[in-house]
Amino acid sequence: MSITAQLAELCLRPVDHADRARAALHVLDWAGCAVSGSASEAGRTLARWAAQQPAGPCRTLHAGARDLWTAAVVNGAVGNVLEMDDIHRAAILHPGPVVIPSALALAEREGATATALLDAVVRGYEAVIRVGAAVGPNHYRYWHSTATCGPFGAAAAACALLGLAARQWVDAFGNAGTQAAGLWQVRHEPVMSKQLHNGRAAHAGLLAADLARAGFTGPASILEGPQGFFAAMCRGADPHDVVRDPESRWKIHDTSFKPWPACRHAHAAIDAALALRANIGRSSVRRIAVRTYRDALVFCDRPDPRTSLEAKFSVQHSVAVALADGPPPLAAFEPAAIARPDVAALRGTVEVAAAEPYAGAYPARYGAEVEVELADGARHVARVPDALGDPENPLDQAGIRAKALALMDAGGLDAGRAERLADACLALAAGGNVFDLVRSLP
């Protein structure tokens, strides 16, 4: 049996109420990120593009009624703009902005129930996370895993909503995998391509499943084949790891929520800096040492950020604003905050290094410690083995809702409509109406 066939079997296991309740939280988290992201320059650009597409029966944020393909691209892209989308640590990818837009667009077209939508989300997360956790570190060096593995998750969600047979799931996975793309060069230039990665992955998986329903076949051995996904893009990794530990709980429960508007690799350092604020007060800081894992430095060692995107990928800036002001809002990564003399001075004292136990624990755990040395010689250290929002250090429903409402407010959505959208997302777990959610989208 091919690995895609085994993956389909794993994704077709029963989903229970607790799994659906968890999925509803991720839908709410995506909605907050997407509403706020739609107000960004990238979001406005996508809205202008979407407005030029033929009208159809699906919603895109701030773009009116459009076809489900446009909805998948736009809603997938805007959910990632702020770097606050959910993340699975071992897979090092963001399931929400790929799986949920694909599932939501198709659920609207098919008139699906809330239960069917949430089941599809759970199954989509399972597929993308299992593939992502198996690709290995050499893949992540060059490939954006959300983009390359995302089509598998979007395809699984769409297959579930379409009620496809197991053989059709295999076809959909085959054609999803052959569309895998997304290079990390996007990190090195001030461009919008990272958002396109997510939207395109949602579109690719949705297309693969819709074609499978029509009888369009795909390669069953796309993962393990001699010229397949792992052979081409995952040097040194074992494709059989995709289906390892088949009795484990649904992977959606291992997915983390992100409270801060920065790259997840900076979050544990932010949490440690926040824990130290009370010890510092108005004292002068001589030196700040951040010790974490290697990928946090690969992606976030940026001592002199110049743009909002660079600031979000700067552990130096993240620690500085957390020490200066406390829990960082979106504005903490905007040009005005980057240019502040006090923040710049703190940034200049930050030294970063990979160190144990954080290096050895990664990627199963995203940890860091921050040591602050004051001008009088006093030293204070805070250690955070798991960032806030990880399963070991969770955000509760109230915290996730508060985050979503704050993001919706930042995106210009009025308070009443934001509350209705949040309520509609959470109501899905109790059998609420999908169209209540759709109608609440801006």
Does the pLDDT value for residue 67 go beyond 90?
no
Strand 285-292 relative to strand 350-354, pairing: parallel
Q: 123 and 99 in one domain?
A: yes
Query: Are 211 and 269 members of one domain?
Result: no
Q: Does the pLDDT at position 14 exceed 90?
A: yes
Supply the pLDDT for residue 114: 98
Contact 172, 151 (CB under 8 A): no
- Number of residues that this document lists for the chain: 442
Structural domains of the chain, count? 2
- Give the domain extent around 17: 3-259+398-440
Average pLDDT over residues 311-317: 96
| Average pLDDT of the residues of the chain | 95
Q: Is the peptide bond before 363 cis (omega within 30 degrees of 0)?
A: yes
Residue 82 has pLDDT above 90, yes or no: no
User: Are residues 380 and 431 part of one domain?
Assistant: no
Q: What is the per-residue pLDDT for 59?
A: 76
pLDDT (0 to 100) of residue 63: 61
pLDDT, position 83: 84
- Give the up-direction half-sphere exposure of residue 229: CA atoms within 13 A in the CB hemisphere: 33
Q: What is the reported pLDDT for 64?
A: 62
* One domain, residues 374 and 436: no
For residue 393, being part of any structural domain is answered with no
**Res 282 pLDDT > 80:** no
Query: What confidence category does residue 62 fall into, taking pLDDT thresholds of 50, 70 and 90?
Result: low
> 408 and 350, same structural domain?
no
pLDDT band at residue 180 under the 50/70/90 scheme: very high
Answer yes or no: do 34 and 137 share one domain.
Answer: yes
Q: Is the pLDDT of residue 187 over 90?
A: no
Return d(Cα 77, Cα 435) in angstroms, integer. 22
pLDDT recorded at residue 156: 98
Q: Are residues 253 and 271 in the same domain?
A: no
Percentage with pLDDT > 90 across the chain: 90
Q: Bigger pLDDT: 25 or 375?
A: 25
- Give the chain's radius of gyration (CA, Å): 21
What pLDDT is stored for residue 342 in this prediction?
94
Pair 244, 354 in one domain: no
Which percentage of the chain shows pLDDT scores above 70? 99
Residue 184 falls within a domain, yes or no?
A: yes
Domain containing 251 — which CATH number? 1.10.4100.10
From the number of C-beta atoms within 10 Å of its C-beta (0-12, 13-18, 19+), residue 90 rates as middle
Together in a domain, 106 and 249:
yes
Residue 390 lies in a domain: no
